[in-house]
Chains A and B, each alone.
Chain A
Amino acid sequence: MGVIPKEEQAVSLIPQRIVEGSYLNDDQQSGVVIGTELARKLGVTIGAKVVLMTQAVQPPDADAGEGDMQSTLLRVTGIFRTGIQAIDSHVIQVPLPEARAVLGVPGRVTQIAVLLEQESDSLMVAQGLRKQLAGVPVEILPWRESMPTLAQIFLLDDGFNYVMNGVVLAMVGLGILNTILMRVIERRYEFGLCSALGLRPAQLATMIIGESLALTTISLAFGMILGLSAQHYFATAGLDLRWFFHSSLPTALVFDPIIYSRLSLTRIVSSVGIVFLMATVISFYPALKAARTELPGALKVL
């Protein structure tokens, strides 16, 4: 893979995963970075010379047949480890001029990556570039089109997340309902006594809803402390999935197998809001049940 070292650092994982030596720089034309697995197989270390042999690209005007075999001497400047075996054992990066020379394609590039701040802008930017570069022999693809499998994985992941969130919220709702309802049933005597002494049904119902919201607030506070602690851990240490991916990912999908969580204020606010709303709505039934405590039956001391 021929790269522009300075630019590559912004779009690729490999420059961040150098474990020995250093990444390429624009002055080192004959440098190469290789994965740990490949380095192990070749028995090379930093500074070692390696020969890259490849088949040159057939010029369009040449006779049919394969291009000539080409080779070049490179020096290992860095060794990277992504944790994904397919990448660590099969991917190398060399400066773009060196790649062009060995492949016999001076002045050509096969791929330009554009990194956007907002992923959601990709379609709009792709459309804009298509208009601007109309007539130029390039294919402009947003990442979802260039990597449809990955895009579908993301889509599936989103769908799965919605289902999981729904299941979790349903469980939370049932938990709240069970807790409040049990408390109402257990406190039938207390409610009966309060009612006999003059507490109005609406006051009883309000008390139950108030208690439910107080319990929800306390639970949310504890939940936030636990959740933010877990978030802090995963935001700094990350969730290492290298053991899971191993060699199963194709080399084209170079993304960090260590996943770092990111805090979203919108997600926190919406989750807290949904739980509060749910707790309020769910507490209506126990509140109604408490308000309808039957006298004098509820006054019997058990």
Chain B
Amino acid sequence: MTDMTRWAVELKDVKKTYRTGPIEVAALRKISLRVAPGEFLAIAGPSGSGKTTLLNIIGGLDRADSGEVLVEGKNLQLLSPAVLARLRLQRLGFVFQAYNLLPVLTALENAEFTLLLQGVPAEQRKERVQKLFAEIGLAGLEHRRPGELSGGQQQRVAVARAMVTEPALILADEPTANLDSVTATALLEVMEQLNRTHGTTFVYATHDPQVMERARRLIRLHDGQIASDVVRASQMP
């Protein structure tokens, strides 16, 4: 592994400021961070501390004002929207707080959507989604639409959609925020298992103490800066 590709994510002096008219809000203030492949990392902090902004910048959904954002050695700041989209499709998976499923599609169609974008044939798509659904307890719910699923089931579909392409990195923004504790625990177990079996890197932005407890590395943000970075069980290569 070359030094360029040693880290799943590498941030160098990343700054991001939001401007609304004359008002400027600094969301990230010179954040530097390295995430190794296979880590199970939680980014915690109060609302407005910059968690979601950090996740969006790592995922190429937003751009930093300055600094470098490297994902698998690629500097996202230098990539065109089309190349960024391809990187998100091929290497990244997203789990959003509000599930963000397409309401007109069934659970199976939502989960296979990224495979469809990758051009995977229909038979293979169905096979892979059904296998994953079986692993995360969604078997039998393939043809239900999001409105017919509970919050926990919808979030599992979102996890399946993120996992099905076997990405190197999954970014999960408050994935348990809308779930009861039992459902949240079940979902976290699913993701931990996927992390262990597939070696996928997970980065969470969370308020949830349960997520923080399970994370093997916990970064606390405060006012756009890293207040603490604690590794509980070393995953560092």
Chain A interface residues (CB < 8 Å from chain B)? 190, 193, 195-202, 295-296, 299, 301
Contact = CB atoms under 8 A, between A and B. Distances in A.
Interface in B111-129: 113-114, 117-118
Q: Which 7 A-B pairs have the closest CB atoms?
A: A198-B89, A301-B98, A295-B61, A296-B61, A200-B85, A198-B88, A200-B82
B74 to A, nearest CB: 15
A233 B34 CA distance: 76
Contact of A198 (B56, B102, B117): B117
B137 interface: no
Given A196-B88, A201-B85, 8 more contacts: A195-B85, A196-B94, A196-B100, A197-B88, A201-B82, A202-B82, A299-B100, A301-B98
30 contacts: A190-B102, A193-B100, A193-B102, A195-B85, A196-B61, A196-B88, A196-B94, A197-B88, A197-B94, A197-B113, A197-B114, A197-B117, A198-B85, A198-B86, A198-B90, A198-B114, A199-B85, A199-B89, A199-B117, A200-B81, A200-B82, A200-B85, A201-B81, A202-B82, A295-B56, A296-B61, A296-B62, A299-B61, A299-B96, A299-B100
Contacts of B94: 196-197
B175 to A, nearest CB: 15
A197 B96 CA distance: 11
A296 B56 contact: yes
- Summarize B's interface: helix, strand, loop or mixed: helix
Contacts of B96: 299
Nearest to B81: A201
B147 to A, nearest CB: 13
Nearest to A204: B85
Contacts of B102: 190, 193
Interface residues of B, number: 22
Nearest to A197: B114
B82 to A, nearest CB: 5
Interface in B166-225: none
Given A197-B89, A199-B85, A295 B62 contact: yes
A203 to B, nearest CB: 8
B102 to A, nearest CB: 6
Contacts of A197: 88-89, 94, 113-114, 117, 161
Nearest to B89: A198
Contacts of B52: 296
A163 B62 CA distance: 49
B17 to A, nearest CB: 16
B110 to A, nearest CB: 10
Contacts of B56: 295-296
Most chain A Cβ neighbours within 10 Å, of B56, B61, B82, B96: B61
A295 B63 CA distance: 9
B44 to A, nearest CB: 20
Interface in B78-112: 81-82, 85-86, 88-90, 94, 96, 98, 100, 102
Nearest to B83: A200
A93 B233 CA distance: 114
A236 B216 CA distance: 83
